[in-house]
Amino acid sequence: MSMDVEENKTSRKVEHYVDPTPFNPAVTEEMTPEQERYFQASQWQIMWWKFKRHKLAVWSGVILILFYLCVPFAEVIAPYTANSRDSLHLFAPPQKLHLFDDGKFVGPFVYGMTSEIDMETLQWVFEDNPDQVQPIRYFCRGANYKFWNLFTADFHLFCPAKGGTLFLLGTDRLGRDQLSGLVYGARLSLTVGLIGVTISIVLGLFFGGIAGYFGGILDSAIQRMIEIIRSMPELPLWMALSAALPVTWAPVWIYFGLTIILGLLDWPGLARAVRSKLLSLREEEYAKAAVLMGAKPKRVITRHLLPGFTSHIIASATLSIPSMILGETALSYLNLGLRRPSVSWGVLLNEAQNISVVTIYPWLMAPVIPIIIVVLAFNFLGDGLRDAADPYK
């Protein structure tokens, strides 16, 4: 009312004036572009922004992607196949990469090796032969392989010079190339964790979901079961279970049996996380509203509660992958898991069983390096994901 009167008064005194700039009624609480972007972004987008700020986790993710490239393309990346033997180069030491020969630039090459038997120790002794310069070939045709067991091919990313050798990480007791073994081994070692974690997530969601949503006797029974499983030492149980896998099984079945075993003992941790999250989420208003509107438990859990903690599950699953990779390695190392002709990092380490082998042929321990890198990377990635999982904090 008074506004009108005022306006009338002013209009009488001054000529009617209109400010041409558009008027924004929310001028006091205007958002900066960043804020606007933030408030309009979806939950997953915010998580991604938060995750990107964790530099270590991002780099770990990149490294892991590089490692996982070995899984589909192992045949192309490896210069040899995993089980091909070179009977002339048993226990050959790693060949060093050189760039210059006699002060002349040749590009990456290795010197050929001459081998001799030392009659005193009965060992092969290898020495570089500076006359033989063997440049590495790229995008070349080399050893034959069956790509994905489907068709024969011979294309490699890089291969030894024609008639030469290329053992960048040495060979084992049957003359098998270690580097190729590592590349092929990544296929099993890296996927064992993924499949195992999938099994463990399914079990964890199921038991944790039941315990958290229904409560009561079911809850305490499942809680007791979780406590008992968690109080048992994992490795002896894994050993016993994988010893129970029949030796006559095909390698593929042994592999799946192993992943199931690894997943079977891992779910209690996830189930606990799911349960405690469910307990807090089911008290939220929107969950109660859904129940009052007559939604069935299955719908409430999967449509209303699950999206609230998917991110947490992914984070804690990432953190439990390394323990599975290590579990497989330990079992294969002990001869209880995978066996040749399957190749995994644990199977390769199996060659380094006793101390005398390790001291004479230290390059047999090479699989240790990728294992440590992958486990570290998963740990950092998991840390980053866990921080990002709660973006509104």
Partner 1 sequence: MLYYIIRRILMMVPTLLVISLMTFFIIELPTGDYISNQIAALKATGEQSSIAKLEFQLKEFSLDRPFFERYLIWVGLWPGPHGLDGLIQGNWGWSFEFDKPVDEVVGPTLPLTIVLNFATILFVYIVSFPIGIYSATRQYSWGDYGFTFIGYFGLATPNFLLALILLYLFNQWFGLSVGGLMAPEYIDQPWSFAKAMSVLGHLIVPTIVIGTSGTAAMIRRLRANLLDELHKQYVTTGRAKGLKEGQLLVKYPLRMAINPFIADIGNLIPSLVSGSVIVSVVMSLPTVGPVLLSALQSQDQFLSGFILLFVAVLTLIGMLISDLLLAVLDPRIRLGGRASS
Binding site for partner 1 (CB under 8 A): 227-228, 230-237, 239-241, 243-244, 246, 322, 326, 329-330, 333-336, 349, 352, 355, 358-359, 362, 365, 368, 371-372, 375-376, 379
For the bound state, the minimum distance from the C-beta of residue 139 to partner 1, rounded and expressed in Å, comes to: 35
User: Starting at the edge strand that comes first in sequence, how are the strands of the sheet with 98-101 ordered?
Assistant: 98-101, 104-118, 123-135
- Angle (CA) 325 331 335, round 5°: 140
Burial state string for 300-332 with b = 16 or more CB within 10 A and e = fewer than 16: bbeebbbebbebbbbbbbbbbbbbbbbbbbbbb
For the bound state, the minimum distance from the C-beta of residue 231 to partner 1, rounded and expressed in Å, comes to: 6
Burial state string for 247-263 with b = 16 or more CB within 10 A and e = fewer than 16: eeeeeeebbbbbbebbb
- Among residues 78 and 349, whose Cβ is nearest to partner 1? 349
d(CA 110, CA 101): 10
- Among residues 140 and 260, whose Cβ is nearest to partner 1? 260
**Crossing angle of the two packed helices 178-214 and 306-333, in degrees rounded to 10:** 140
- Among residues 79 and 384, whose Cβ is nearest to partner 1? 384
Which residues, 6+ apart, have CB-to-CB distance to 261 below 8 Å? 238, 241, 242, 245
For the bound state, the minimum distance from the C-beta of residue 276 to partner 1, rounded and expressed in Å, comes to: 16
The candidate with the shortest Cα–Cα distance to 265, out of 355, 214, 168, 200, is: 200
- Among residues 41 and 375, whose Cβ is nearest to partner 1? 375
d(CA 111, CA 78): 20
For the bound state, the minimum distance from the C-beta of residue 207 to partner 1, rounded and expressed in Å, comes to: 16
For the bound state, the minimum distance from the C-beta of residue 199 to partner 1, rounded and expressed in Å, comes to: 18
- Among residues 108 and 362, whose Cβ is nearest to partner 1? 362
Q: Name the E strands within 148-240.
A: 151-159
Handedness of CA 184, 74, 174, 116 (dihedral sign): negative
Burial class (CB in 10 A: 0-12, 13-18, 19+), 15: exposed
For the bound state, the minimum distance from the C-beta of residue 376 to partner 1, rounded and expressed in Å, comes to: 4
- Among residues 81 and 323, whose Cβ is nearest to partner 1? 323
For the bound state, the minimum distance from the C-beta of residue 281 to partner 1, rounded and expressed in Å, comes to: 24
For the bound state, the minimum distance from the C-beta of residue 312 to partner 1, rounded and expressed in Å, comes to: 18
d(CA 22, CA 167): 73
- Among residues 326 and 343, whose Cβ is nearest to partner 1? 326
Q: Distance of CA 214 to CAs 137, 209, 224, Å?
A: 64, 8, 16
- Among residues 161 and 358, whose Cβ is nearest to partner 1? 358
